[in-house]
Amino acid sequence: MRVLGIETTCDETAAAIVSVERSGETKILSNEILSQIAAHAAYGGVVPEIAARAHVEAIDRIVERAFESAGVKPGEIDAVAAAAGPGLVGGVMVGLTTAKAIALVTGKPFIAINHLEAHALTARLTDNLSFPYLLLLVSGGHTQLLAVRGVGDYLKLGGTIDDAVGEAFDKIAKMLGLPYPGGPSVEREAAKGDPERFDFPRPMQGRPNPDFSLSGLKTAVRLVAERIAPLSDRDVADLCASFQAAIVDVLVDRTRAGLRASHAAGITPTTLVVAGGVAANQPIRRGLTRLATEAGLPMVAPPQALCGDNGAMIAWAGLERLRLSMLDDMSALARPRWPLDELKPRHPAPATDSAAG
């Protein structure tokens, strides 16, 4: 089976072809990504109108490159998948319309993918995981803890009540005059700083419900930065290091609460998974690895190239759904909001189901 996946929910125009061989082996045949970081850097964040226009200009070229890199012709794929949301609706419409057109021309099935489900299932592409597992989904717009019970079957255990983790990183970077995107910039500066210089709060720490709140931490950083201004290079590095240390502590504590909540719901996870753009952060990975070891679980994070938005994760989610005959028609709409726990499985996967099954 081969599936073309198209991703245009934010500021990456991406297309990929992923296959499952007769042996059960999964392969990423191509994974083409065009980032718009340079176009948005001057604004310190993504401008929806600029993003949508850039997707229109790039999408045909990126899809063509995906086929060429894979050595596959359009008629040789088995389905076309596209992210239908959540995301910036103008960009989502570009990818969705392109995917529908390819499906119509080739006569192949069309699959509308929830962008968050694609992140949630990426670990099955890379590590052949079985259900169920506990997922910490951390990205620019989303921070959630979910029990992943099967394709389309998600129990939300907790989420942020204000800022997402990636959003907090971006805001701190902008506050301190660091370049966009904020996550990598803050991580680079933090590596040079003292994480114990500033004692920032750990919001929600110790609470039984596995929810998150990051606006208070962001405000605490701003108040300290204003108090010690003008900031030296050392100040910026120490602020980043202390902020990042607080984020790691919060994520570990809240994920520990998520593990307890999962067991309370009668779900025993086989693995702790972290996914989404922020999952590329190395101190966060190390903190969650320590937690997983403490809980007696393996910790899985996709390779850094698959943490951010990419077409391979969309193609893989399409493959997962194709194997279960979970297809869509041409009436599928672009959705700016689409909570994961609204998805409904048509064929619940057994607890022992593996990615290669």
Of all residues in the chain, what percent carry a pLDDT higher than 90? 89
What's the CA gap between 20 and 16, in Å, rounded? Answer: 14
231-268 per-position pLDDT tens digit: 999 999 999 999 999 999 999 999 999 999 999 999 99
127-136 per-position pLDDT tens digit: 999 999 999 9
31-71 per-position pLDDT tens digit: 999 998 888 888 888 999 999 999 999 999 999 999 999 99
Q: Look up residue 261 and give its two tokens.
A: 């909540």
Number of H-type helices and E-type strands within the chain:
10, 10
Mean pLDDT of 160-165: 95
Give the global pTM. 0.94
Q: Say yes or no to pLDDT of 355 above 60.
A: no
Alpha carbon dihedral 65, 66, 68, 71, in 10-degree steps, equals 170
Of all residues in the chain, what percent carry a pLDDT higher than 70? 97
User: Residue 350's pLDDT is what?
Assistant: 41
DSSP of 197-256, one letter per residue? Answer: SS----TTTT-SS--B--HHHHHHHHHHHHHHPSPPHHHHHHHHHHHHHHHHHHHHHHHH
Q: Say yes or no to pLDDT of 323 above 70.
A: yes
Longest dimension (CA), the chain: 63
Mean of pLDDT over the chain:
94
The count of C-alpha atoms lying within 13 angstroms of the C-alpha of 150, restricted to the half-sphere facing its C-beta, is 16
Output the 3-class SS for 1-54: CEEEEEECCCCEEEEEEEEECCCCCEEEEEEEEEECHHHHHHHCCCCHHHHHHH
Tell how strand 110-114 and strand 2-7 pair up: unpaired
Q: Say yes or no to pLDDT of 193 above 60.
A: yes
Q: Which residues contact 279 (CB under 8 A, 6 or more apart)?
A: 136, 138, 285, 301, 302, 307
260-290 per-position pLDDT tens digit: 999 999 999 999 999 999 999 999 999 999 9
Q: Say yes or no to pLDDT of 351 above 50.
A: no
Q: Say yes or no to pLDDT of 293 above 50.
A: yes
Q: Say yes or no to pLDDT of 349 above 50.
A: no
The count of C-alpha atoms lying within 13 angstroms of the C-alpha of 273, restricted to the half-sphere facing its C-beta, is 31
- pLDDT band at residue 353 using 50, 70 and 90 as cut-offs: low
The count of C-alpha atoms lying within 13 angstroms of the C-alpha of 62, restricted to the half-sphere facing its C-beta, is 28
Residue type, 228: I
What is the torsional sign of CA 113, 118, 121, 126?
positive
Q: Is residue 53 a contact partner of residue 74, using CB atoms and an 8 Å limit?
A: no
